[in-house]
Structure 1
Amino acid sequence: MIFGPVPVAEAEGAILAHSVTSASGRIAKGTVLTKTHVAALAKAGHAEVTVARLDAGDIEENQAAEQLARSIVLDPSAQHVRISAAGAGRVNLYATCPGVAAIASDKISAINVIDPMITVATVPHLHRVDAGTMIATIKIISYGVPGPALGDACTVSPHALGILPPAYSRATLIETQTGDDVPSCKGRAAMIARVERLGLEMSDRVIVPHDSSAIACAIDQAPGDILFILTASATSDPRDVAPEALRSAGGRVEAYGMPVDPGNLLFFGDVDGKPVIGLPGCARSPALNGADWVLERLICGVALTQADISALGVGGLLKEIPTRPRPRASGSGPDSA
């Protein structure tokens, strides 16, 4: 692409690089200058303007952005992605359903190193989205890019992103109580909000005593496709009441504990093909915590292991929440949590 100042008399057919005011009004950057534009610029006293001209083989910015978008989203229906119209060298990609964004970071990185003028920015991998959430923007920075560079980007881009929709439709929350203290409705309300934004329905309330046999029975009878356990007393060991209840019900515990705070005291596993998540106490708050990351991914069919959970530590220090019983900033020492 040729870029730079030219005499106004020679600017016809070029792309205006910077907006200018002419005798007939403002001419926006990106405008392909016509004979009328040139005359109006000259009448306003402009001797030269900065323009861009495409070389042979260059692809115009909007055409390039749209071509790359349609290469990334080969099947909008299957990938659950909507492609916007192109404008100013930009095309946006939007989720068409709730779920989590599946981003192939190696492909996005491969696109972005081909030519600095070809850029793709996305939300993080496995970021929760709603229908209509923007998940990526494709921006051609210059007014055109070489055809071979765009071709290379399109070669590596197919299925670089998409949305994983919820794999389940109904959830059950099992709450435990100690003595006669009925759990507050706050925790259930927060969990209903979490599952409903992913399109799931929460089954009727289940409250059982805080012991393994009662929880195991509730697990066995739970109607949901995915189960949550919110205990009256925090689960502080892999052999504590709730994990043992899952094993007693014939299930298995896949992982216990996570390097995300708030959210450390979480476990998950499965029983009869149903995911089971033992929630940390912070799940009673609607604020983001480690349980959100786990439940969103499991609801959307992402298989998780202890290794996956252990890898969440970088970025796992989340915002302090007002309801935290032991704030990080208080305690017996500077490193107390």
Structure 2
Amino acid sequence: MIFGEVPVEEAENAVLAHTLRVESLTIKKGVPLSAADVRALTKAGVTSVLVARIEDGDVMEDAVAEAVATRLAGDGVDVMTPVTGRCNLHARIGGVVTIEAATIDALNRSGDGVVTGTVAPFEVVEPGRTLATIKVIPYAVPKARLEALDALAGDAAAIVVHPFRPRKVGLVLTRVAGNKESLLDKAQAVISARLETYGSPVAYEARTGHHVADLAAAVEDMRTKGAELILILGGASTSDQGDVVPAAIEDAGGDIDLFGIPVDPGNLLVSASLGDIPVLGLPGCARSPQSNGIDLVLPRVLADLDVSPGVLLGMGVGGLMKDVPDRAEPRESHAPKTAAGPSGKVSAVVMAGGVSKRMGKINKLLAAVDGTALVRLVVAAAIESDAAEVIVVTGHEADLVREILSGFDVRFVHNPHYPEGLSTSLRAGIGAVSDNHSGAVVLLGDMPLVSAGIVNALIEQFQADKEETICQPSVDGRPGNPVLWPRAFFPEILDIWGDNGARQLLERYADRVSKVEVGDAGIHFDIDTPDDLNAG
């Protein structure tokens, strides 16, 4: 391929390097110039153009991208149609993605301008999730170099999705004196929800005293019943390999493979086996729905991936996770008393992960309202407001939502559990709010008439109320959305399950709600059906 400026009359069949706009004539970059294009450019007074001239033996960008993508794609991965030198790999199934970093690095360092970006290794992915994008920067690559790239990619697929294998899971919860049964109920619900996400609901449950003999008997009973994975959540944290949980596993005939992993929260995990049955002694943070160490280990177990001590001890890089809200001693609890607390700043969290069930095949968030995508209108209002940051929670068709919002100064948080209901996106968004922010206003992505002024009215009332009240807009006393939540309520929001959002908290704390009259019916208008879209 020869790249350079040539006279227009010599440019036929060459690939235009940059989009040309001359009067009413527009020719997009990357297009081979036809004889008609050359005539039109000459007529428009253009004398020279910057082009790439394709030589014999060159392979065009789309073909290169597809060839590299096909070589990288393994089981559970689909190769998408290449466009403008870019070819994406999508997950065909849900599971855990593994990536051979050495292969990706070798391709990226080849010097050919063929680059690959991927998601993080061992990420849990849902069907349709983009796993990697292969971009060919030049318009063509010599065939010999494509063959070299093929050799670098190797014979073994570098990107594979490992499906979850359903297991019969046994869950054992232990009690200590003074613990309420409701705490065990809460822990059971959180752990069950995690397992169901991966296709392995709890098959057997037992509750027992926090004593070696009692726990060992419960573990043995799980094996007898046919459990294929045993999880143990102790009423007290494990502090030594001789403590109750590991000692009980050994008394039941099991072997302790490892106690303690370099992941925080989640250090106090026990990895063991009872014959061919994996056994995990869960850290206390497993009670929280927020991401913690168990979320790095459990998916690998259920996808039949290696969780030997060497692998678990290799999780330290990237193992420092965000504190869970109900952790007894946050890692920064030793900070001096003068450390800064919440700053009075408010985050805007935009919910943009729903599946638009009542819209048929249309993703309403991407549909145009007055020529602009619905979700773009909502995010634009959030950016225009006095919110200190804007967080967009994606789920369904996340790639398309991100593309629609390109150019906006926002932070994206992906919620892989979006099919389970609005609460999963709410938890993801609230969990991502900056630590020094005092509250978060939650905007629904299907409410295009909510203005920056409405958001600002809520922030103003929130600050006037010393950041202590839940602020909700209203028109003639009728409440609507969005709602601004003080940080004090975040732990309870992170405990919400189902598809009702935070409505139950508004009812429970009605005396803490500050109604803000805004005189704008946009707080009641959302788009749920095609008719609503037409009305919008």
Superposition deviation, residue 217 in structure 1: 2.1
| Alignment partner, residue 115 of structure 1 | 111
Partner residue in 2 for 1:130: 126
Deviation at 1:23, TM superposition (A): 5.2
**Residue 244 (structure 2) pairs with residue 246 (structure 1):** no
The alignment status of 1:140 with 2:143, answered yes or no, reads: no
Q: 1:55-97 CA distances to partner (integer Å, 9 max, x unpaired)?
A: 2211100011111222223xx5xx1111100101111111122
* 1:181 alignment counterpart: 180
Q: State which of 260, 270, 275 in structure 2 corresponds to 1:272.
A: 275
Contact 1:210 1:232 in 2 (8 A): yes
Per-residue Cα deviation, 1:258-292 (whole angstroms, up to 9, x for no partner): 11111111111111311111111111112221111
Is contact 2:266–2:285 with CA below 8 Å preserved after alignment? yes
Q: Partners of 1:274 and 1:156 in 2: how far apart?
A: 39
4+ runs of 1 displaced by more than 3 Å? 22-25
Q: Which secondary structure does the structure 2 equivalent of 1:9 belong to?
A: helix
Say if 2:341 is the partner of 1:325. no
- Give the aligned residue type for 2:80: S
Question: Could you tell me which residue of structure 2 aligns to residue 211 of structure 1?
Answer: 211
Match of 2:41 in 1: 41
Structure 2 partner of 1:167: 165
Which residues in structure 2 correspond to 1:300-315 (within 5 Å)? 300-315=303-318
Distance 1:35 1:170 in 2: 67
How far, CA to CA, are the matches of 1:27 and 1:195 in structure 2? 53
TM-score by structure 2 length?
Answer: 0.58
8 Å CA contact 1:23–1:40 kept in 2: the answer is: no
8 Å CA contact retained: 1:191, 1:284: yes
Q: Give the aligned residue type for 1:162.
A: V
In structure 2, distance between residues paired with 1:168 and 1:32? 52
Deviation at 1:209, TM superposition (A): 1.6
Output the TM-score relative to the length of structure 1: 0.91
In the TM superposition, what is the alpha-carbon distance from 1:333 to its structure 2 partner? 6.9
Residue 101 (structure 2) pairs with residue 102 (structure 1): no
CA distance in 1, matches of 2:82, 2:335: 57
- The runs of 5 or more residues in structure 2 that have no matched partner are 338-536
- The answer to whether the 8 A contact 1:23-1:41 is kept is no
Distance (whole Å) between structure 1 residues aligned to residue 315 and residue 109 of structure 2 = 27
C-alpha distance 275-147 of structure 1, shift in aligned 2 (>3 A): same
Q: How much is the aligned-residue C-alpha RMSD, in angstroms? A: 2.0
Q: 2:29 aligned with 1:18, yes or no?
A: no
Structure 1, unmatched stretches of 5+, are: none
Preserved CA contact (<8 Å) 2:292 2:324: no
Confirm or deny: 8 A CA contact 2:173 2:184 kept in the other structure.
Answer: no
Query: Counterpart of 1:203 in 2: which secondary structure?
Result: strand
Kindly tell me: are residues 51 and 193 of structure 1, through their superposed partners in 2, closer, same or farther at Cα, counting changes over 3 Å? farther
* Distance in 2 separating the partners of 1:17 and 1:171: 58
Q: CA deviation at 1:47?
A: 2.4
CA distance in 2, matches of 1:234, 1:129: 31
Matched-pair contact (CA < 8 Å) for 1:81–1:93 = yes
Instruction: Find the residue that maps to 2:238 and give its secondary structure.
Output: coil
**Residue aligned with 2:149, SS:** helix
More helix by share: 2
Which residue, 207, 226, 239 being the options, matches 1:236? 239
> Residues 40 and 189 from structure 1, CA distance in 2 versus in 1: closer, same or farther, beyond 3 angstroms?
farther
SS at match of 2:315: coil
Q: Which amino acid aligns with 1:181?
A: K
Q: Which stretch shows the higher mean deviation, 274-283 or 221-230?
A: 221-230
**SS of structure 1 residue aligned to 2:192:** helix
CA 240–32 in structure 1, closer or farther in 2 if over 3 Å, else same: same
Whole-angstrom CA distance in 2 between matches of 1:252 and 1:67: 47
Show the counterpart of 1:9: 9
Work out whether residues 191 and 287 of structure 2, in 8 Å CA contact, stay in contact via their aligned partners in 1. Answer: yes
The 1:189–1:25 alpha-carbon spacing in structure 2 relative to 1, beyond 3 Å, is: farther
Change (3 A) 1:118 1:87: same
CA contact (8 A) 1:256 1:306 kept: no
Q: CA deviation at 1:99?
A: 1.8
For 2:298, the equivalent position in structure 1 comes to 295
For the residues of structure 2 that align with 1:170 and 1:283, how far apart are their CA atoms?
A: 19
Q: Following TM superposition, by how much is the alpha carbon of 1:237 offset from its aligned partner in structure 2, in angstroms?
A: 0.8
Q: Is the 8 A contact 1:72 1:154 kept in 2?
A: no
